[in-house]
Structure 1
Amino acid sequence: MQAHDKKISSVVHFIGVGAMGGPMAQRLHEGGHVVRVFDSNPQRVEAFSAQHGKQTELSLEQLGSDADYVVMILPNSGVVEEVLFGQNGLVSRLKKNAMIIDMTSGQPNMTLSMGQRLEALNILFIDAPVSGAVPRAQNGTLTIMTGGEAASVERAEPLLSLMGIVTRTGPLGSGHAMKALNNLVSCAGYLIGIEALIIGSKFGLDPTVMVDVLNSSTGMNNSTQKKFKQYVLSRKFDSGFPLHMMVKDIAIAMGLARNLGVPAPFGNLCLDLWSGAKGVLGPNVDHTEVARLSEQLAGWQIPKSNS
């Protein structure tokens, strides 16, 4: 199909074109939408426009002005709130029937609060955080957890489906709650798996064999399948997702438990360990480096695998 034959279905302003947002915006562009991007890091915008044309660049003053959809994937809900309602916030420029899609790993309570403010302005709003690493953002197979009014989610689904597989989680805020709880489970599985590798390798078990057994047995989880050999046994620790962002997600999950009055002792221990790792190792290291803290506590390093 020639470029001029491409069907243009909507104008999308995409805010946040980092490691995940960049490929997600590209999926929308390749899907036939007019995509214009903004990021607080101008180099990211320049990189996108170098590939897709200068017309894809968006200035701060233009945010929301002619958009059918505004898609945001930002560091946290506080930044989302500032972009929407802060000085020169984009809500003042949105046209009638525009929709805001928040794909940030956000705080459910803040999402609900912003939703109330947007509803009063007759602006449609859904939350649609994602799970999956950069390769899944590139090939459009992310898991997208989507919360909001059924009619709004249905309207956004063709757009979202270009970026991944949409799961409707319920009312507004439910997507953000599910994302945080998913990462809580992921982080707990990672830590217990690392401890097992330390114990087993100190006993004399080959950690590569251990991972193979876990992956063919009931101990299998995402970390045993997609992280241990790739980032821990290789000692590369380069998955591309920083530690501070994972700690943020666990904290959101534990905040949700606290607000609901749900005791979560294992979850709180998980948060303590990941937060401690951030303090010891630094916030910007790869999240898989949490294994180093467990190794330091044990006084034992999991042997490197050459396979």
Structure 2
Amino acid sequence: MSAKQTIGFIGLGSMGWPMASLLHKAGYPLQVIDASAERTQAFAKEIGGTAAASNRALAQASDIIITILPTSAIVETVLNGPDGVLAGLRPGTIVVDMTSGVPTITRTLAEQVAKAQGHFVDAPVSGGVPRAKTGELAIMFGGSADLLERVRPVLSCMGTSITHTGDVGSAHAMKALNNLVSAGGFLIGVEALLIGKRFGLDPAAMVDVLNSSTGMNNSTQKKFKQFVLSGKYNAGFGLDLMVKDLSIALGIGKDTNTPTPFASLCREMWAASAAMLGPGQDHTAIAKLSEKLAGTTLSEE
């Protein structure tokens, strides 16, 4: 049996840490790095792998490189410069960007990596921190079918669903559009709960009914009781990141000349919530905006 390929993992945040942990558990040699040197060292000590001295050094030691970072701009910074990934990239290396990125930037980065004799694909995920911990993420893949098969064993350690969406950049487009649908479902669900509570219905009972009826969605199943009615607001995905993804989705709509009246309103409400609540908020905290507008709270606390 051939030795497993060395994985370079860049980004050890709330999603990256458990995802890299699963790769280590599966027996892949890891080179890891994060913007926080302390977090890099903590991962190497607590989980395993080698703490890379730089992105360049990581690339020099890796067969496959995974990035999962807040924005495409940060991915671009990590790739470029004298200590960037491209400076140390070995020919034939596959860079798998699992960031929720901007499709147009993704395609530009793919061209840069190709010039360095490597391959760049996009493979964003859905499922949040809970499914990142269990390896049950839904993964979208943009790139050739051949490259997908080459990285499938690695992706399968982190997700149970891998969908080939098309050429490079297509998966990032799909991820943004998925989050648009998710964001709209969350908002309309919260408004329905507020209407019901003001009418006299119990919000928890409403969630139960929605989950056994046609109104069911991901938010009714996995967010309302857990993070809104409980008052915890700690699902693990930032409000600012949701606004970023919605902005990407609206940008795709603009680029394709697609009318987006409802999507635009949805994005504006999420952006207004981020402005009202300030930085560092979980995305489920947008419920507080709807509560403020209604003068009614849903939290059981």
TM-score by length of 1: 0.94
Task: Name the SS for the 1:63 alignment partner.
Answer: helix
- Tell me how far 1:43 sits from its aligned partner: 2.4
Residues 122/226 of structure 1: CA separation in 2 closer, same or farther (3 Å cut)? same
Match of 1:222 in 2: 218
1:193 corresponds to which letter in structure 2? G
Task: Report if aligned partners of 1:277, 1:290 keep a CA contact under 8 Å in 2.
Answer: yes
Cα distance between partner residues in 1 of 2:87 and 2:299: 57
Residue 58 of structure 2 corresponds to residue 56 of structure 1: no
- 1:232-268 per-residue CA deviation (whole Å, 9 max, x = no partner) reads 1111111111100111111110011011110111100
- Tell me how far 1:87 sits from its aligned partner: 4.1
Task: Report if aligned partners of 2:228, 2:299 keep a CA contact under 8 Å in 1.
Answer: no
Structure 2 gaps, min length 5: none
Residue 190 of structure 2 corresponds to residue 197 of structure 1: no
Cα distance between partner residues in 2 of 1:136 and 1:231: 16
Aligned residues: 299
Task: Name the SS for the 2:60 alignment partner.
Answer: coil
Structure 1 gaps, min length 5: 1-5
> Superposition pairs for residues 251-270 of structure 1, below 5 Å?
251-270=247-266
Match of 2:112 in 1: 117
Q: Which of 142, 146, 160 is residue 137 of structure 2 equivalent to?
A: 142
- Tell me how far 1:46 sits from its aligned partner: 2.1
1:81 corresponds to which letter in structure 2? E
Cα distance between partner residues in 1 of 2:25 and 2:129: 17
> Superposition pairs for residues 34-49 of structure 1, below 5 Å?
34-49=29-44
Task: Report if aligned partners of 1:198, 1:302 keep a CA contact under 8 Å in 2.
Answer: yes
- Tell me how far 1:139 sits from its aligned partner: 1.4
- Tell me how far 1:225 sits from its aligned partner: 0.5
Cα distance between partner residues in 1 of 2:128 and 2:2: 29
Match of 1:271 in 2: 267
- Tell me how far 1:88 sits from its aligned partner: 2.7
Q: Which of 162, 176, 181 is residue 172 of structure 2 equivalent to?
A: 176
Task: Name the SS for the 1:229 alignment partner.
Answer: helix
Match of 1:282 in 2: 278
2:118 corresponds to which letter in structure 1? I
Residue 29 of structure 2 corresponds to residue 29 of structure 1: no
Task: Name the SS for the 2:59 alignment partner.
Answer: coil
Task: Report if aligned partners of 1:201, 1:303 keep a CA contact under 8 Å in 2.
Answer: no
Cα distance between partner residues in 1 of 2:150 and 2:211: 39
- Tell me how far 1:7 sits from its aligned partner: 7.0
Residue 290 of structure 2 corresponds to residue 297 of structure 1: no
Residue 90 of structure 2 corresponds to residue 95 of structure 1: yes
Match of 1:3 in 2: none
1:172 corresponds to which letter in structure 2? V
Task: Report if aligned partners of 1:207, 1:303 keep a CA contact under 8 Å in 2.
Answer: no
Cα distance between partner residues in 2 of 1:239 and 1:83: 27
Cα distance between partner residues in 1 of 2:253 and 2:157: 33
- Tell me how far 1:90 sits from its aligned partner: 1.5
2:50 corresponds to which letter in structure 1? T
- Tell me how far 1:118 sits from its aligned partner: 2.0
Q: Percent identity?
A: 49
Task: Report if aligned partners of 1:73, 1:102 keep a CA contact under 8 Å in 2.
Answer: yes
- Tell me how far 1:85 sits from its aligned partner: 1.9
Cα distance between partner residues in 1 of 2:212 and 2:83: 55
Structure 1 stretches (4+) deviating beyond 6 angstroms?
Answer: none
Cα distance between partner residues in 1 of 2:2 and 2:20: 17
2:258 corresponds to which letter in structure 1? V
Match of 2:69 in 1: 74
Cα distance between partner residues in 1 of 2:84 and 2:232: 41
- Tell me how far 1:110 sits from its aligned partner: 0.4
Task: Report if aligned partners of 1:8, 1:32 keep a CA contact under 8 Å in 2.
Answer: no
Residue 103 of structure 2 corresponds to residue 108 of structure 1: yes
